[in-house]
Amino acid sequence: MSRRLPLERVRNIGIIAHIDAGKTTTTERILFYTGKTHRIGSVDEGTTVTDWMEQERERGITIVSAAVTAEWNGTQINIIDTPGHIDFTAEVQRSLRVLDGGVVIFDAVQGVEPQSETVWRQADRYGVPRICFVNKMDRVGASYERSVGMIRQRLGANPIAVQLPIGDEANFRGVVDLIEEVAIVWEDDLGKEPLRVPIPEELMEQARVERERMVEQIAELDDDLTIKYLEGSEITPQDLKAALRRAVISGKATAVFCGSSLRNKGVQPLLDGIVEYLPSPLDIPPVKGTHPRTGEVIERHARDDEPLSALVFKIVADPYMGRLAYLRVYSGKLVQASTVYNSAKEKRERIGRLLRMYADRREDIDELCAGDIGAVLGLRDSFTGDTLCDASHPILLETITFPEPVISVAIEPKTTADQDKMADALRKLAEEDPTFRVRTDEETGQTIISGMGELHLEVLVDRMLREYRVQARVGKPQVAYRESISVPVMGAEYRYVKQTGGRGMYGHVVLNLEPAEPGSGIRFINEIKGGVIPAEFIPAVEKGVREAAESGVLAGYPVTDIVVTLVDGSYHEVDSNEMAFKMAASLAFKNGVQRGEPILQEPIMKVEVIMPEEFLGEIIGQLNARRGEILGMEPRPGNTHSVRAYVPLAEMFGYATDLRSKTQGRGTFTMQFSHYEEVPKSVAEEIVARVRGKA
Give per-residue pLDDT as tens, 289-348.
998 888 889 999 998 889 999 988 877 766 667 777 888 899 999 998 889 999 988 889
Q: What band does 361 get if pLDDT is binned at 50, 70 and 90? A: low
- Pairing relationship of beta strands 407-413 and 163-166 according to DSSP bridges: unpaired
- Pairing relationship of beta strands 407-413 and 472-475 according to DSSP bridges: antiparallel
CA distance 490 to 623: 41
Average model confidence (pLDDT) across the chain: 83
Q: What band does 106 get if pLDDT is binned at 50, 70 and 90? A: very high
CB 205 within 8 A of CB 191: no
CB 449 within 8 A of CB 408: yes
- Predicted local confidence at residue 61, as pLDDT: 40
Give the DSSP per-residue string, 275-335: HHHSPPTTTSPPEEEE-TTT--EEEE-S-TTSPPEEEEEEEEEETTTEEEEEEEEEESEEE
CB 117 within 8 A of CB 151: no
Q: How far is CA 148 from CA 103, 106, 133, 143, 171, in A?
A: 15, 10, 10, 9, 20
CA distance 283 to 431: 33
238-247, 404-413, 508-517, 675-684: least confidently modelled range: 404-413
| Interval 141-166: pLDDT, tens | 889 998 999 899 888 899 999 999 99
CA distance 520 to 606: 19
Give the DSSP per-residue string, 586-639: HHHHHHHHHHT-EEEEEEEEEEEEEEEGGGHHHHHHHHHHTT-EEEEEEEETTT
Which residue blocks in 109-185 are alpha helix, DSSP H?
114-126, 144-155
- Predicted local confidence at residue 85, as pLDDT: 44
37-41, 54-58, 353-357: least confidently modelled range: 54-58
CB 40 within 8 A of CB 106: no
CB 437 within 8 A of CB 430: yes
In 3D space, the residue among 306, 484, 476, 321 whose CA is nearest the CA of residue 408 turns out to be 476
pTM over 0.75: no
DSSP class of residue 387?
E
| Interval 424-468: pLDDT, tens | 888 888 877 777 888 776 556 778 887 766 677 877 788 787 777
CB 189 within 8 A of CB 176: no
| Interval 376-398: pLDDT, tens | 888 888 887 889 999 899 998 88
74-83, 140-149, 197-206, 238-247: least confidently modelled range: 74-83
Percent of the chain with pLDDT over 70: 86
Q: Residue 584 pLDDT > 90, yes or no?
A: yes
**Alpha-carbon dihedral 567, 572, 573, 574, rounded to 10 degrees:** -140
CA distance 78 to 375: 13
- pLDDT (mean) for 76-83: 76
Give the DSSP per-residue string, 178-190: TTTTEEEE--STT
| Interval 586-618: pLDDT, tens | 999 999 999 999 999 888 887 888 888 889 999
- Predicted local confidence at residue 498, as pLDDT: 85
- pLDDT (mean) for 14-24: 77
In 3D space, the residue among 99, 91, 87, 81 whose CA is nearest the CA of residue 22 turns out to be 81
CA distance 289 to 307: 13
Which residue blocks in 507-577 are alpha helix, DSSP H?
538-548
Using only C-alpha atoms, the chain has a radius of gyration, in whole angstroms, of: 32
CB 191 within 8 A of CB 265: yes
Which residues have a Cβ under 8 Å from the Cβ of 416 and sit 6 or more positions away?
none
In 3D space, the residue among 117, 180, 181, 163 whose CA is nearest the CA of residue 260 turns out to be 163
Q: How far is CA 175 from CA 30, 114, 260, 275, in A?
A: 18, 27, 11, 19
- pLDDT (mean) for 169-187: 93
Residue type, 30: I
- pLDDT (mean) for 555-571: 89
- Pairing relationship of beta strands 373-377 and 407-413 according to DSSP bridges: unpaired
Strands lying side by side in the sheet with 387-389 = 347-350, 339-342, 387-389, 309-318, 322-331, 373-377, 354-358, 361-365
In 3D space, the residue among 315, 313, 278 whose CA is nearest the CA of residue 76 turns out to be 278
CB atoms within 10 A of CB 569: 24
Q: Residue 88 pLDDT > 80, yes or no?
A: no
CB 108 within 8 A of CB 143: yes
